[in-house]
Structure 1
Amino acid sequence: MKVLNLAQIKERLKDIDLLSIIEEGFALYSQEKTVVPPVAELLLPEQNGEVHIKYGYVKNDDYYVIKIASGFADNAKYGLPNNNGLMLVFSQKTGEVLAVLHDEGLLTDIRTAVAGAVAAKYLAPKNIKQIGIVGTGVQARLQLKYLQAVTSCRDVMVWGRGIEKLTAYKKDMQADFNIKTTLNAQDIANNCNLIVTTTASKTPLLFADDIQTGTHITAVGSDTVDKQELDAKILAKADLVVVDSIEQCKMRGEASQALRAGLITTKDMIELGNVILAKAPKRRDDKQITVADLTGVAVQDIQIAKAVL
């Protein structure tokens, strides 16, 4: 049995074409070539924590994967990162434990960011005038890092809740990007036509009336029933609503909020895998408004775990 620690995993990631393997995973999922049960979730409200267990396999493959990922929002006061976790890889033939990937949440963070780049590849406008990032945490940094593979735009506006975090974000990212910061999320909607939302907000941060014609939004922060970064009317206004999993997004994420509000139906939802496979429409022109609701599907964990082995 292999046991890989964080340093070993980071070294192996350097040689992996992450965009291709995550893109392939979405395609396999939408072709029903995977088995992905519903997400198991453990909420610890007194600790402001949550644990997600995602698991599954690609049919006729060698492995199945179980991923445990946690998020504890108050960990900063203990000097710890908010996110943690590991991935377990088993033999699909015998059930033998083949590997423990003690990634401390890194692989979840990376596969989420790469999924954002995949969504932008197919849905972002051709002419991106400015990228908008909602949030200042790890995912806000990684989303921007991996977007470099699919767009040449380096002009960025970032929204955060405080000057200190915005200043730190700008310092960390300004070597590769032209960073502007704002405390007003409306500035993102008014000035950016590729937007990525990365927060754990439970109330909308962006509103339909502020979204410009031609904007693409990738929403990755809302991965539970109660989180919401987008006004549900944005999805009703969008020309395309793309989700990572229709089944999963009925229950969690931005699409689920719009469904419960009666603003869209499941017929309005397109899976990202089908866009990749050209079985569903991608962006047609720079006038369309598009939304990608990415709640995180186990096939992403399967793909990145297999690649790291």
Structure 2
Amino acid sequence: MKTISLEQIKAVVPSIDLISDIEEGFVAYSLGQANVPPVGELILEKGEVHIKYGCLINDEYYVIKIASGFYDNPTIGLPSGNGLMVLFRQDTGQLVCILLDEGHLTDIRTAVAGAIAAKHLAPKNVERIGVVGTGVQARLQLSYLKDVTTCRRVLAWGRSEEPLERYRRDMEANDFAIETTRDTGEILRTCNLIVTVTPATEPLLLASELQSGTHITAVGSDTPHKQELETAILREADVVVADSIAQCLLRGEIFKAMQSGDITQDELIELGDIIAGRKTGRASDSQITVADLTGVAVQDIKIAAAVYEALA
């Protein structure tokens, strides 16, 4: 049994083609070639813990992942995310590897999924990227979008000036041209590729500001009580994509829009089906598309195995 440290993980991740690996995971999931049980969830007073686990059929491994979010932690000098991944042999149950990633691999695979959604759903000409949020995920989403779009113009939204200014400095050092705003409506009016990455429980983006030709990747809403998009945005969208339809019926933006009656299950397309060419995503640059990414265990399976094999 091998233990892999966070330092080892950070050193090897840049050398792995995670977009291709995780695309393969989404395709396998949508083709019914994955065994992914429902998410385990523990909601605490100051945070939340998610347990995701599963395997790909006929693969070598199964993975169990624990990831937590305690969003006030930065005020006491601690990261908001933590966790680990555990890799077992699928044929014997033997423990192969413990990845002490402290939540880093969850952050990375989430950002990679955002890049995959943009690759398959964003308009061809991305004029400006809108980022709703200023935390770790807001940084990683932009970093991985570099692989799928040449656009470097960004408008970032945050709740207060200090984190916005830190975000601007950090991402300008990463070759982006960053402007900031406290108005989410400005994001919708001026950006045609938007990523939302907050733990909001009330809508931040409203349908009244929605423009044709926009793609929105909603990342932050991964529980039943979170919401970043007004449900009418999904009603107005030409294409609504789920990372997992089964999971999105129980949590996230699709769950909220189903509750309000703004969409029906028949309208939903799975991301893996678009990647595989079985379903059509964006058909024109004038369409509005929304991807609801709640995080699926196949992402954890693929990234854990890739890191282990790169270091084996």
Matches within 5 A, 1:187-202: 187-202=186-201
Amino acid aligned to 2:137: Q
Q: Secondary structure at the match of 2:49?
A: strand
- Return the match for 1:99 from 97, 100, 108: 97
Matches within 5 A, 1:156-171: 156-171=154-169
How far residue 94 of structure 1 moved from its aligned partner, in angstroms, is 1.0
TM-score normalised by the chain length of structure 1 = 0.99
How far residue 79 of structure 1 moved from its aligned partner, in angstroms, is 1.2
> Where does residue 149 of structure 1 map in the other structure?
147
Amino acid aligned to 2:244: S
d(CA) in 2 for partners of 1:188 and 1:74? 26
> Where does residue 248 of structure 1 map in the other structure?
247
How far residue 128 of structure 1 moved from its aligned partner, in angstroms, is 1.0
Amino acid aligned to 1:241: V
d(CA) in 2 for partners of 1:179 and 1:256? 32
How far residue 78 of structure 1 moved from its aligned partner, in angstroms, is 2.5
Amino acid aligned to 2:217: T
- The answer to whether structure 1 residue 178 and structure 2 residue 177 are counterparts is yes
Amino acid aligned to 1:223: D
| Aligned residue pair count | 307
d(CA) in 1 for partners of 2:234 and 2:267? 9
Q: Secondary structure at the match of 2:96?
A: strand
> Where does residue 17 of structure 1 map in the other structure?
17
Q: Secondary structure at the match of 1:218?
A: strand
Q: Secondary structure at the match of 2:21?
A: helix
Q: Alpha-carbon deviations, 1:283-307, whole Å to 9, x = none?
A: 1111000000000000000000000
How far residue 77 of structure 1 moved from its aligned partner, in angstroms, is 2.9
> Where does residue 8 of structure 2 map in the other structure?
8
How far residue 34 of structure 1 moved from its aligned partner, in angstroms, is 0.4
- The answer to whether structure 1 residue 125 and structure 2 residue 123 are counterparts is yes
> Where does residue 233 of structure 1 map in the other structure?
232
- Return the match for 2:57 from 40, 48, 59: 59
Amino acid aligned to 2:207: A
d(CA) in 2 for partners of 1:105 and 1:307? 16
Runs of 4+ in 1 over 4 A off after TM superposition: none
- The answer to whether structure 1 residue 41 and structure 2 residue 38 are counterparts is no
d(CA) in 2 for partners of 1:278 and 1:294? 19
Q: Secondary structure at the match of 1:56?
A: strand
d(CA) in 1 for partners of 2:81 and 2:113? 18
- The answer to whether structure 1 residue 258 and structure 2 residue 257 are counterparts is yes
Q: Secondary structure at the match of 1:84?
A: strand
- The answer to whether structure 1 residue 305 and structure 2 residue 280 are counterparts is no
How far residue 71 of structure 1 moved from its aligned partner, in angstroms, is 0.3
Q: Alpha-carbon deviations, 1:143-177, whole Å to 9, x = none?
A: 00000111000000000000000000000001311
d(CA) in 1 for partners of 2:261 and 2:14? 44
> Where does residue 112 of structure 1 map in the other structure?
110
d(CA) in 1 for partners of 2:255 and 2:246? 10
How far residue 214 of structure 1 moved from its aligned partner, in angstroms, is 0.4
- The answer to whether structure 1 residue 217 and structure 2 residue 216 are counterparts is yes
Q: Secondary structure at the match of 1:111?
A: helix
Matches within 5 A, 1:78-89: 78-89=76-87
> Where does residue 207 of structure 2 map in the other structure?
208
How far residue 109 of structure 1 moved from its aligned partner, in angstroms, is 0.2
CA RMSD of aligned residues (A): 0.6
How far residue 14 of structure 1 moved from its aligned partner, in angstroms, is 2.3
d(CA) in 2 for partners of 1:274 and 1:10? 31
Q: Secondary structure at the match of 1:132?
A: strand
TM-score normalised by the chain length of structure 2 = 0.98
d(CA) in 2 for partners of 1:142 and 1:219? 14
